[in-house]
Amino acid sequence: MKKAIFYDLQGTLGGEATASIDSFAPYPFAKEALALAKNKGYLNIIITNQSKISKGILPLDVYLREHDRILNEFNSDELLIDEFLFCPHQSSDNCNCKKPKTGFIDQCAEKYSIDVSQSYVIGDMGKNEIVLAHNAGCKGILVLTGGGKDSLGKFRSTWADYEADMIAENVLEAIKSI
Ligand SMILES: [Mg+2]
């Protein structure tokens, strides 16, 4: 069976936690982290919540243009990203893909024969990525970039029943330690 790392996008691989997608730029260490994960035998899968699409704040075509730009940026030197999945829904849509729901992880686990117990979710929002890790049976790493520090501070109550398996300075430090 394969193993995978499921990454959040904004605040984890680059950009800011809640900023507009068209301002997204990868952190300087993001590609090194993704390459290191590949060398350690992991599939690299990005899962991002983009509820601004269903709320009508972010037009789908604008999002898709940015999605392609970001994917090309990560994959420009070598193929670092295996899947890049986005959820356009808001909570009231009752989808199964909006983090912390596990739809995308379940789908990838089936497609690639991934052992989720040997896999990780890495993100800067405890209520999304750490709860997702728990729901999917993966290990969860909270990074301190983006909204990570606030997740441990003023937003800790939004995921009070959960604990990260690890807290890392950033995604590169996270990959180094797994
Ligand atoms: Mg984030």
The per-residue pLDDT for 62 is: 97
Residue owning tokens 């993100």: 123
pLDDT at res. 175:
98
168: enclosing H helix or E strand: strand 166-168
Interval between CA 16 and ligand 1 midpoint (Å): 7
Q: Which of these, 92, 95, 24, lies nearest to 63 by C-alpha position?
A: 24
pTM higher than the cut 0.85: yes
Structurally, how many domains does the chain consist of?
1
Find the 150 Cα to ligand 1 centroid distance in Å.
11
| CA dist list (Å): 159 to 76, 95, 100, 102, 128 | 36, 20, 11, 16, 8
List the one residue out of 104, 23, 101, 28 whose CA is nearest residue 69: 23
Distance 130 CA to ligand 1 centre (A): 11
Report the separation in Å between the CA atom of 40 and the middle of ligand 1, taken as the mean of its atom positions: 24
Judge whether 12 and 51 are in contact, CB under 8 Å.
Answer: no
Range of the domain at 85: 3-176
pLDDT at residue 18, rounded to an integer: 81
CATH number of the domain that 70 lies in?
A: 3.40.50.1000
Q: Ligand 1 mean position to 124 CA, how many Å?
A: 5
Ligand 1 centroid vs 12 CA: distance in angstroms?
A: 6
pLDDT digit of tens for each residue in the chain (178 aa)?
999 999 999 999 999 888 889 999 999 999 999 999 999 999 999 999 999 999 999 999 999 999 999 999 999 999 999 999 999 999 999 999 999 999 999 999 999 999 999 999 999 999 999 999 999 999 999 999 999 999 999 999 999 999 999 999 999 999 999 9
Distance 7 CA to ligand 1 centre (A): 9
Q: What are phi and psi of 108, to 5 degrees?
A: -70, -35
The pLDDT of residue 41? 98
